Structure 1
């Protein structure tokens, strides 16, 4: 039986090439071999949900499919996996059943969200000397220190039979984005840098570099 026409329609990924949350989805799409088109959100200061693929949270990425829209990187990655013909073995957040793994995933996502707030605050002209800004930078530095200290244990605890893990993709995107957006120098994080150098050998990383859309 042939697939229904709507099942063959290419999904549209909405985001920005400079976004670490968008890059997570782009890496998964490349790893899973899911064909899609890419639509750039031009104005991140817009308050119109339609500019974000209908996401009421005014955030990216969004994946538009014939069946509906998927908001957020994790939702999108799951849908891309369902659309993949290869169905590789992916370690998802719910598979992280020991504290060091679960905590690592939590802190990676919290760090990414904190970084976004710092970047957008700067774009919006907020003062770097405010108490809230200082606290966010302290939070980020503390979380990165924990990830550096526990990097070896985290990577060793991941399921050895995996083809890909959401934790590794998000960790890579976080660390490299900190340098890309000049939020925090990452040279002092030796273990995290070593991980990124190894992970960057994947073809999906080469295909999805950070850049500013023109």
Structure 2
């Protein structure tokens, strides 16, 4: 049993087990061997920053630590890496200095953000016939088609000397989340599905399954 001091130092992740951005950070926490408690945000329609760990943007995830609070998945992942005694070799977005890799990372994050908007629009009863909604969905389909066509080459272009990359984690969380939330069928994305099958062999993936919090 940890003592009180150790327990008080345990970081708290504010998010949802059904969120792909939250899962990115949970996979990083597992890879870094950092134990985090999860504070679930139950009401995504809330406009109170306190419900989101103090994030004024009203978004998740947020990491609360004795040293301070970190907003957003990338900030959280960096903070977890710095806390880890393992310090694995991680390829971060700023390390992607080739157009193919940089564009892949950009589209992955754009697709994740678009998916969130589509899910939230559905929760707020926005019509599928709304022109902006239709444009976002078309953009998501276009981005996934681009990733299906280019992800194999992008993944092959990643530095071989790495333990993990933010690109791989976000790509896995995106593709698997589309089916989980019934946003877009992914059966036709053979290259992306093969990558997900291979990446899912990591213990950190098995420790962080998508589920709806109760």
TM-score (structure 1 length as normaliser): 0.96
Q: Secondary structure at the match of 1:60?
A: coil
Q: Deviations over 1:16-67 (max 9, x none)?
A: 0000000000000000001111110010000000000000000000000111
2:30 is matched with: 30
2:56 is matched with: 56
Give unmatched runs, 5+ long, in structure 1: none
Q: 2 CA distance for matches of 1:36 and 1:26?
A: 8
Q: Secondary structure at the match of 2:211?
A: coil
TM-score (structure 2 length as normaliser): 0.96
Q: 1 CA distance for matches of 2:207 and 2:174?
A: 17
Q: Secondary structure at the match of 1:70?
A: strand
Say if 1:7 and 1:66, in contact at 8 Å, map to a contact too: no
Root-mean-square deviation (Å): 1.2
Q: 2 CA distance for matches of 1:205 and 1:138?
A: 29
Q: Secondary structure at the match of 2:155?
A: helix
Q: 1 CA distance for matches of 2:105 and 2:149?
A: 14
Say if 1:24 and 1:169, in contact at 8 Å, map to a contact too: yes
Q: Deviations over 1:168-211 (max 9, x none)?
A: 00000000000000000000000000000000000000000000
Q: 1 CA distance for matches of 2:147 and 2:208?
A: 24
Q: 2 CA distance for matches of 1:52 and 1:6?
A: 24
Shift, 1:6, TM fit: 8.4
2:136 is matched with: 136
**Structure 1 stretches of 4+ moved >4 Å:** 5-8
Q: Deviations over 1:107-149 (max 9, x none)?
A: 0000000000000000000001111111000000000000000
